[in-house]
Chains A and B, each alone.
Chain A
Amino acid sequence: MKNIHKLKKSIDDFFFNIDLNPQFIVFFRISVGLLVGLHFLSMWPDFQRLYGKYGIVPWDLQGFFIGDGILTLPKIINFFEGYGIEEPVTLLGFKTLYLLLALFVAVGFLTRPSAILLLVMQVSFIKGAWLYTYGVDVFTSMSLFYVIIFPSGRHNSVDKFLFKRKPGETLMPFRRMFQLHVSIAYFFSGFAKSLGNNWWNGEAIWKATHMPYTTNNDFSFNSMWFANHSGLVVIMGWSIIIIEMLYPVFVWIPKIRKLWLSLTIMMHLGIALVLGLYFFSAIMIIWNLTAFYFYAPVEIRSQEKIETEKEPIPVPEVGMI
């Protein structure tokens, strides 16, 4: 019984007993809204050829592995065609609404309904053409899901101004869920790499920088330089495994958190520059900053203890870097 009480108190301490500065939620909502919009704009002229019903790989082939229950963009096009509205018109409406909703999320206007609709639309086009899906797409879905479940519209938003929304919920459990999610993601990313031998001997880095479609053409980065400094690719392979796999340990230790966050962000900047995955890197940096930048999570005190000691609730430490 005593143990159950102790466990309950620990859970309470971890998830609830602190008032948080809402900066992390505001940062997340604005940066996700802007990134989703910019990412969409980056393929605007080619959107119909990739995701249209009769794009390069048409919808009946793309839909081969997708269950009937998922609303896909071709189904939306079919629906409007039933009312005599042709595909280009539907697509123009879809693209415009998508951008508008991303802007609404960024400024916090009708935040939750906008994010729900945006998520449904985002899933509709990535699932409708699953052949073109990569990491950034699932992280975009996850980000929009978190915008929906966080009280995102209650802080520094148009909603707050127009509807006089008051901050009514404790933010800590949302922050904790997000922190745990990021920690699990990095652990599995590093652990899965550690199970192969290519990351330990550097071959994975070498191979990734020489794939025909995954190297960055924006910079004249000469990856052949690695051939003469082969020890470097081994160090890079080990570093990536260590940074990722030990992330859930070191990012929770206040004295090491700054270092680990910086290393992780540098790793993502490297991915952006070498592999040209700008949007994927950007969303991962946003996730890192949202989870661990704005305050030190170990400064938790139970409400009970605070009341007993008559001490004020710890003020979150803002701005680590």
Chain B
Amino acid sequence: MKKLFILSLIAFQLFVILIFNIHQTCDNTFNYYHPGVKEKPAALKVLEKILRSNSDFLWYYGTYTGTVTGYGFYAPSVASQVVYTFYVKDVNGRTVAARSIPEFETQEAVNRFSLCSSIWLEKFNIKESVPRFDKLLKAITRQIAKDIAKNYAANTVDTKVYLYQYPGIDELKKGETEKLILAHQFTFDNLLH
């Protein structure tokens, strides 16, 4: 009986790992080769149906076992990065500082915080305006600007969101340099209130 219990646990754990990974690999690959296409292949729909039909249970199980993830790190391609530049303005509108992230005491915090700009990649992938999501992105960006402004007792921060592109080896040899493609810009006022 105990053997059966252990084997069932192993089978279930491996099933969850496999199903999440097959789904994520297919989904990422489809999105990579067909960006913005909403109609997905039948196999992917079946996988999504399996995941959705047990969504709550699988979600909680996956969350507390860490298995709610795929292992395709940096796959199928290394994604571009999104970078912020926050221009802190004084009362006369002059730029007193330009920062990409708030100041932290530890490198681990810098590493972690730098991940939060990648939420913008979701917006670029869906290629259409989803008002609720756009509001969320603006609110998150405003909060970061507010934290930076606090250190300078500034009230206004001009924020630019760039897509960062580094040239390939061949492009670099031809003299091309890194590109910052402006994706969005905001001016946040009344940050001290």
Residues of A within 8 A of B (CB): 11, 15-16, 39, 42-46, 49-50, 56-58, 61, 64, 67, 69-70, 119-120, 123, 127, 131-135, 138-145, 149, 173, 176-177, 180-181, 184-186, 188-189, 191-193, 195-199, 202-204, 206-208, 210-214, 217-218, 226-227, 230, 233, 276-277, 279
B1-38 CB contacts (< 8 Å) to partner A: 3, 6-7, 9-10, 13-14, 17-18, 21, 24-25, 28-29, 32
- B51 → chain A, closest Cβ, in Å? 14
Cα distance A186–B109 in the bound complex, in angstroms:
28
Residue pair A192, B113 in contact (C-beta under 8 Å): no
Task: Chain A residues near B102: list those with CB within 8 A.
Answer: 49, 56
Residue pair B66, A145 in contact (C-beta under 8 Å): yes
Q: How many residues of B contact A (CB 8 A)?
A: 64
Sorted from nearest, which 10 A-B pairs have the closest CB atoms? A196-B76, A192-B72, A141-B66, A142-B66, A192-B75, A46-B109, A213-B114, A132-B112, A131-B116, A196-B77
Residue pair B14, A56 in contact (C-beta under 8 Å): no
Q: Which of B89-97, B152-160, B167-175 contacts A (4 or more CB under 8 A)?
A: B167-175
- A74 → chain B, closest Cβ, in Å? 14
Q: Is B188 an interface residue (CB 8 A)?
A: no
Residue pair B147, A56 in contact (C-beta under 8 Å): yes
Task: Chain B residues near A210: list those with CB within 8 A.
Answer: 166, 178
B68-116 CB contacts (< 8 Å) to partner A: 68-78, 81, 83, 100, 102, 104-109, 111-116
Residue pair B143, A123 in contact (C-beta under 8 Å): no
Which of A177, A227, A279 meets B169, CB within 8 Å?
A227
Minimum CB distance partner of B13 in chain A: A177
